[in-house]
Each structure stands twice: as structure tokens, then as C-alpha cells.
Amino acid sequence: MTHWKFGIIGGSGLYDLPGLTDVSHRVVETPWGAPSDALTTGTLNGVDIVFLPRHGRGHRIPPHDINYRANIAALKMAGCSDIISISACGSLKAELPPGRFVVVDQYIDRTRSRANSFFDTGCAAHVSIAEPVCHRLAALAAEAAEAAGAPVTRGGTYLAMEGPQFSSRAESALYRSWGCDVIGMTNMPEARLAREAELPYASIAMVTDYDSWKVDEAAVDVPAVLAVMRQNADLAQLTIARLTDMVSDRDRTPSPQGIETGLDTAIITPPDARDPELVRKLKAIAGRVL
């Protein structure tokens, strides 16, 4: 058994966590470069928290230019046991209105220019992301959001688009025809990389708009997104407080999905064929098996 240590990756509007004590800020460097910003560490309800603003403070970094590998590696190197992703998203269904929290459980990845693996030529690995989120962690996140007073939908498919532009109406209609529930620009390759780093990952996607499919309403734009995000931010902060309170008296056991040992059978390159320089880098996230 180990203790809980949550890595919180927050989007815009979630730069501070009220009630966080023993706060410190630490600039870190990973083998894949610098993360989006300094890590904020502290304790909330007796539970360790490491917070990382996904876009950097002041929202400096657009979704397609985030160093996702450095972000996940920084949280792994900080000793996090689990990652909660909190982000804004668009809704692709009328029954998921702005203000709704969707704890997603599946992804369709339409990103195209992002480094989506820690592994590379010299050390190949193939992890399964058939179930890309941690079921236990997602259930805890949903319960915490409900306790915070948020309207919550448990489960849903997140379409990860490249951005930074919003969808065309034709694209939005296409994604709806695929059965997607919400659309956003940041959860991939986050979820992929978290699985490679053997970190349980769950995502709370906070609906801000109807993307571009709802022809009887104006298409999504930044002012509309920001207006709803301000409302969601308080609930998101309260959700994290409720989550830490819920687990404060519970020992943490390994994920029932075996996520913490996912690399045991994933690395295909034999030791004598591995690139030593790449292995040196990989030890930051896969030292347990290398």
C-alpha cells in the first residue's frame, strides 16, 4: 500500500487551489525538456498535491505546442501516484449543456503534430490503451464532482482535435455522427503518455459550449468559452477538495487494471539492442522496468 499523491493538470481558470497548505513552487527539467510551468506542491486535506498549469500561467502555450511528454514526466518524477486532468471542452450532444462535467472514459485521437510516446527508435514499446482511463480514479473523480455540486455525466467519448482553431460545422457534424460526446484539444496525447508512465489517469471535461454543430446558436468563440469557464473553475476547485477529503483516510492500493505494471510486457526491444542514451532518458518514467 502507498499514499495518494495527486498530479493535477489544470486548464485555464484553475491556477490556484484554495486551502492548499505547505505550498512551494519548483522549476523542474525533464529528459524531454521543461514542462508548461513550475510545479506547485502542497497538501490539501492531508493529501499531497502537485499542480501543473497545462498552458502555463497566463495561458501562454496553445494546445498544439504543449510539451506533453515533459508535463507527464515531471509529474512522474515528482512522485505522483495518479493524474487528474481538468479541462474545458465542447459538447457534441444536446443533453450535455454548458456547465456539465463529463468524466470521460474513451478517446478518439485526431491530433497529428504532437509527440505521443516516450519510446522511440532504440527502445520500442506498445502499451494497451483499450481502456485509456483508470476506472477507479474516474469513479472517484465523478463522486467528488457530484459532492461539489456539479452536474456530472459518468462516461463519454472525447474527440481530441489538433486545434488551435475551433471545428468547422462539417467537422462538428462528422464527430457527432461517430457518436462522440465532447470535443477538446488537450487530453491527447496526455492519456497515452500517462499510461506509458504507468500513471492512472482520469479526466474531468467541463463543457463550455456546443462546438459548431448547433446551427440555431452562434458557433463557439473565446468570449463564450471564458464566461462558462469562470463558472466552472470554482466547482473544479471544490471537486479537488472533495476528492482529497474522500481519500484522506484511505490507503492507496494499486489500480485494479494493473496500470502501475503496464510496462512489464510492453517493451519489445531486448536489453542488448536498446539505445543507451534513450534508456537513460526513459529511466525517468520507466526506471522500474529498465
Q: Which CATH class is domain 5-286?
A: alpha beta
How much is the pLDDT for 231? 77
Q: What pLDDT, in 10s, does the model give residues 45-77?
A: 999 999 999 999 988 999 999 999 999 999 999
Which stretches of the chain score pLDDT less than 50? none
Peptide bond into 18 cis (omega under 30): no
How much is the pLDDT for 211? 92
How much is the pLDDT for 11? 66
How much is the pLDDT for 21? 92
Structure pTM? 0.95
Q: List Cβ neighbours of 168 (8 Å cut-off, separation of 6 or more).
A: 212
Measured CA to CA, the distance from residue 198 to residue 205 in angstroms comes to: 22
Q: Which residues are catalytic?
A: 209, 211
Extract the runs of DSSP E, i.e. beta strands, from 175-263. Answer: 182-184, 201-209
Residue 1's identity, in one-letter code, is M
Residue 218's identity, in one-letter code, is A
How much is the pLDDT for 230? 74
How much is the pLDDT for 67? 98
Enumerate the domain spans of the chain.
5-286
How much is the pLDDT for 14? 60
CB 257 within 8 A of CB 57: no
242, containing H or E segment? helix 222-247
CB 132 within 8 A of CB 167: no
Give the closest residue to 89 by CA, choosing from 179, 172, 158, 176: 158
